Amino acid sequence: MANRNAQWLLVIVLLTIFSVYVALPAEVKGVTPSDPICEEYAKDIRADTRGVRCTESIIIDLNSDFNPELNIRVTSSLGLDLVGGLRILLEADAPADSYTLADLRETANNVSRRVNGLGLAEATVQVQGSNRILVELPGVRDRQQAVDTIQQTALLEFVDFSGLNGSQFQGQRILTTEQLRRSSPEALADHIGNPNDGNRPFQTAFTGAILQAASAQFASTGGPTAEWFIAFQIKPEFAADFARFTGQRVGQPMAIVLDGVVISAPTIQAELSESGIITGNFSQAEATTLALQLRSGALPIPLKVATAEEVGATLGQQSVARSVQAGVIGVVVVLLFMLTYYRLPGLAADLALIVFIALNLAIFKLLPVTLTLAAITGFLISIGTAVDGNILIFERIKEELRGGRKLDEALEMGFNRAWTSIRDSNTSTIIICGILFLFGQTPGASIVSGFAVTLALGLVLNLFTAVIVTRTFLYFLTRLFHKAASERVWLMGV
Amino acid sequence: MENNTILTIVVSLTSLAILAFAFLTRKRVGLFDLVENRRMFFLISVGIIAPGLLVMGYSTVTTGAPFRLSIDFVGGSIYDLTFTSDGADEAAIRQVFSAQGDSNVIIQRVGGPTSNRWSVRGSFLDDDRVTQIVEDLNEIAPLDRERFQQQSVSPTVGEEVTRAAFFATAVVSVVVTGFMVIAFRQIPRAFRYGVCAVTAMVHDILVVMGVQSLMGLLLGWEVDALFLTAVLTVVGFSVQDTIVLFDRIRENIPLHLGEPYETIVNRSIWESIHRSLATQLNAFFIMIAILLFGGETIQQFIFILFVGLLTGSYSSIFTAVPLLVAWEKGEIPFLKQPAQLATT
């Protein structure tokens, strides 16, 4: 018993130290991302930063080969309302009569899905006027980086499939040289390599950047009956390269890969220079969608960046500072209340609550969760309700003590009896979070997903701190004051 | 500011009342029978929800939506303002839009901290008002009229979201009922516990929506993305609170075999009431602190959460449990024969 509690205490202390370190503001840790040298670092991790720390991330690189053994990403991310960010105005790059407002909305939804991911990024995406999409990315100052983020969202590749059976890879995720160039090998771990080449990545021949236009058409392509196919045009500057590539590989398959997934692997019928067709037993809907994707990289309407500008915060720094200050006062009141109402257990709960706050703040930076004023307020109120588990346990302990049980027995019973209600009530809320998360996947509803993720994480942390951390602290506190607590039950809040 | 003070006083007084009640009943349990007066509590619930529904109905008839909706939900206009010299600031611009009846605008400086370009997002305004705004802005600092632009922007929270939220609530109701059937399987008629918990949850959603609609009518409060967050928080809290209470009943049934159901239930309420009160108090402490010392931007959010937490605890004790008893005693119309409806 004592042994187990000592182990837990060690785990808790280590976790808390780690969390407090992660949660500390960057300036305290001597990180200076505003140093000019850090711009170099942002482009190349090998840049010589001469002792200037550019990132909060915890990186351990034992043999200095820039292949770190440990790399924990730590980023503080504040929302548009608090720090402003970058506003990017995307303009439809197509004639006004070639799309409807519904298409534009769909495009905006796609963009939103990409910039928001799990819904934790708090980016704003709105349709502006009749031909523009307004994107605001919180906390981003680097224009190029942001534009890249939006533009690299869909990657179309023509991949060399020489000597392979193309249909075998249909719908599979494959690893290509272009993807490797754009992201890390870890992110592509589930992609398969070329079996004919020792599972090394497939060779990307061209990307979607070479396409001028693509459209779905219905005609006979040489067979006895008409079928749906996609006709595409190559930009003049790439025509010669494309001709050379296809000319050398007539009769071989060439894969068309969108965001890593093989969408079709047609056989090259002849040398192609300015234009070509893709056949593949498409239905009308399939052909239309594929043509759209080829044109725009999975966006229903091709977009170009009209402007990218820095925008300021919508709330003054003052209102943030005041809210945080208010929160601190509120938390102090909660700590005092727990201490006066529950005495010795209250002290254990207070310590556990501090651990809860540290763990939660660390999680915010590790995921990272973008903090808006609303998110901060929600977190502050969750601190108030986080003691619920403790209260359930302590009320039970009081009952047992009033019933005449001995201190140690009462503690044991209190935790055991409160556990079922803590378990069932939290399980139900976590289930609710799961449902909300799924529904938040609806385009434009990322706010719901973000809320569900943050709430669920808070609950899981709370289960840990309210039960295990409190029990461990209470165990050692009652060891210290065993005689006093046994003789004077008021110390236990009775 | 005035609203803020009133809200602070309301929340503080409620907390004081809870605190006083908690101390008065500290060592006594089963002071009076809460379940016996169930008809009264049902009437109180109806008395709170019915006006809310009426206000929402009235609002739907007159404005087309049960609430006043913010630009988060209906979209609006985005204005691009360029001043030719310094002198404009956020407060002055906000004042101009407020004077034309648009007090919930989002103002951002565009192009860096010393730029004279501003972007303002607000609700749709007719041309006369926009013309007036341009004139008034010109008073603050000379406005470059050539570069003045007004365009429509779509909602940040789309229609799909509202639909998704409704579906999610429906799915939550079914899944929570299912979960309760499993979690309470060792006591008879577990299904009823699920239904009552979900009823209490719907009760709380209706109370919060009614209050929001009423505040929209009285004080012009608008429903924004934050309101959605507040309602979802209330859903979680409501179910959690009800389950804690039901857990006590689940535990007490085998311990007090032979006692009438109402007695067991009443005892369970009194045994767990201090936990309810203490948890409420802690959340309220933080809310009071934010209302008193925090910024004014989120007072509506805080108030809706306050109402939600209050009704979340109220409905567990005064809706979910009495409903369970009424069902047991065959008082609910169409469900009058408990023995035949038993699921176990």
**A286 phi, psi to nearest 5 deg:** -60, -45
Helical packing angle, A407-439 and A446-463, nearest 10°: 170
Start-to-end Cα distance in chain A: 26
- From A251, A266, A298, the end of a domain falls on A298
Highest mean pLDDT among A31-35, B56-60, B290-294 belongs to B56-60
Helix (H, G, I), strand (E, B) or coil at A255: strand
pLDDT for res B338: 47
Q: Could you give the C-alpha distances from A377 to A122, A319, A440, B287, in angstroms and in order? A: 15, 12, 21, 9
Highest mean pLDDT among A357-361, B166-170, B325-329 belongs to A357-361
Q: Which domain holds residue A444?
A: 317-492
B154 to A436: CB separation less than 8 angstroms, yes or no: no
Whether B344 has a pLDDT exceeding 50, the answer reads no
Length of chain A counted residue by residue: 494
Across chain B, mean pLDDT equals 87
Burial pattern A204-213, b for ≥16 Cβ within 10 A else e, equals: bbbbbebbee
Whether residue A292 is found in the same domain as residue A177: yes
pLDDT > 90 in chain B, percent: 41
**Separation CA A4–CA B328 (nearest Å):** 46
**Bridge partners for B120 per DSSP:** B79, B107
Mean pLDDT, rounded, for B122-126 = 88
Q: Is residue A7 part of a domain?
A: no
A311 to B157: CB separation less than 8 angstroms, yes or no: no
A201: cis peptide before it, omega within 30°? Answer: no
Q: How far is the alpha carbon of B273 from chain A, nearest alpha carbon, in Å?
A: 10
Q: What is the pLDDT of residues B71-103, one digit of tens each?
A: 888 889 999 999 998 888 888 898 999 898 888
Whether residue A177 is found in the same domain as residue A278: yes
Q: CA dihedral in degrees (A78, A81, A84, A90; nearest 10)?
A: 110
Residues 248-277 of B with CB under 8 A from A: 248, 250-251, 271-272, 274-275
- 8 Å CB contact between A233 and A212: yes
Q: How far is the alpha carbon of B198 from chain A, nearest alpha carbon, in Å?
A: 12
- Total of domains in chain A: 4
Which residue of chain A has the CA closest to B295?
A: A319
Query: In terms of DSSP H, where are the helices of A387-445?
Result: 388-402, 407-439
Whether residue A358 is found in the same domain as residue A215: no
Q: Tell me if chain A has a CB within 8 Å of the CB of B124.
A: no
Which chain A residues are within 8 Å of B161, Cβ to Cβ?
A: 442, 444-445, 447-448
A327 to B248: CB separation less than 8 angstroms, yes or no: no
Pairing of strands B149-153, B106-110: unpaired
CATH number for the domain harbouring residue A103: 3.30.70.3400
pLDDT for res B339: 47
pLDDT for res B28: 61
Top-confidence residue, A423 or B296: A423
pLDDT for res A177: 83
Q: Supply the ipTM of this predicted assembly.
A: 0.88
- 8 Å CB contact between A153 and A111: yes
Q: Is residue A265 part of a domain?
A: yes
Q: Is residue A206 part of a domain?
A: yes
- From A75, A107, A132, the end of a domain falls on A75
- 8 Å CB contact between B134 and B79: no
- 8 Å CB contact between A233 and A211: yes
Which chain B residues are within 8 Å of A447, Cβ to Cβ?
A: 157, 161, 225, 228-229
Residue A37 one-letter amino acid: I
Q: Is residue A17 part of a domain?
A: no
Top-confidence residue, B310 or A223: B310
Whether residue A128 is found in the same domain as residue A275: no
Q: Is residue A36 part of a domain?
A: yes
Could you say which DSSP state residue B33 is in? -
Whether residue A395 is found in the same domain as residue A479: yes
DSSP letter string, B144-155? -GGG-EEEEE--
Nearest Cα to A388, choosing from B281, B140, B10?
Answer: B281
Which residue of chain B has the CA closest to A383?
A: B283
Which residue of chain A has the CA closest to B22?
A: A341
Whether residue A203 is found in the same domain as residue A325: no
A420 to B247: CB separation less than 8 angstroms, yes or no: yes
Which chain A residues are within 8 Å of B1, Cβ to Cβ?
A: none
pLDDT values of chain A reduced to their tens digit, one per residue, 494 residues: 678 899 999 999 999 999 999 999 888 888 887 777 787 777 677 777 777 888 888 888 777 777 777 888 888 888 888 888 889 999 887 788 878 888 888 788 778 776 776 667 788 889 998 899 999 888 776 777 677 666 654 567 888 887 787 777 877 888 888 777 766 666 677 778 887 777 788 888 887 778 777 788 888 776 777 888 888 888 888 888 888 888 888 888 888 887 777 877 878 888 887 888 777 777 777 777 677 666 655 566 778 888 888 888 887 667 778 888 888 999 999 999 999 989 899 999 999 999 999 999 999 999 888 888 888 888 888 888 889 999 999 999 988 998 889 988 999 999 999 999 999 999 999 999 999 888 877 766 777 788 888 889 989 999 999 999 999 999 999 888 888 888 887 888 77
Length of chain B counted residue by residue: 344
Preferred mutation among B151, B275, B301 to probe A, highest tally of A CBs within 10 A: B275
pLDDT for res B154: 87
Show Cβ contacts of residue B298 under 8 Å, excluding neighbours closer than 6 positions. Answer: A323, A373, A374, A377, B226, B290
Which chain A residues are within 8 Å of B297, Cβ to Cβ?
A: 315, 319, 373
CATH number for the domain harbouring residue A356: 1.20.1640.10
CATH number for the domain harbouring residue A160: 3.30.1360.200
Q: Tell me if chain A has a CB within 8 Å of the CB of B178.
A: no
Whether residue A456 is found in the same domain as residue A326: yes
Q: Is residue A2 part of a domain?
A: no
Whether residue A49 is found in the same domain as residue A99: no
Whether residue A269 is found in the same domain as residue A218: yes
The domains found in chain B, sorted by start residue, are 2-69+157-341 (1.20.1640.10), 76-153 (3.30.70.3400)
**Bridge partners for B44 per DSSP:** none
Whether residue A420 is found in the same domain as residue A454: yes
Q: Is residue A30 part of a domain?
A: yes
Could you say which DSSP state residue A203 is in? P
B161 to A445: CB separation less than 8 angstroms, yes or no: yes
A373 to B175: CB separation less than 8 angstroms, yes or no: no
Whether residue A107 is found in the same domain as residue A244: no
Nearest Cα to A202, choosing from A175, A163, A184?
Answer: A175
Which chain A residues are within 8 Å of B229, Cβ to Cβ?
A: 374, 378, 447, 451
Which residue of chain B has the CA closest to A313?
A: B108
- 8 Å CB contact between A259 and A154: yes
Whether B10 has a pLDDT exceeding 60, the answer reads yes
Q: Is residue A147 part of a domain?
A: yes
Mean pLDDT, rounded, for B205-234 = 90
- From A246, A279, A311, the end of a domain falls on A311
Q: What is the pLDDT of residues B21-47, one digit of tens each?
A: 877 776 665 567 778 888 999 999 999
**Separation CA A20–CA A37 (nearest Å):** 28
**Separation CA B338–CA B344 (nearest Å):** 12
- 8 Å CB contact between B340 and B334: no
Whether residue A226 is found in the same domain as residue A128: no
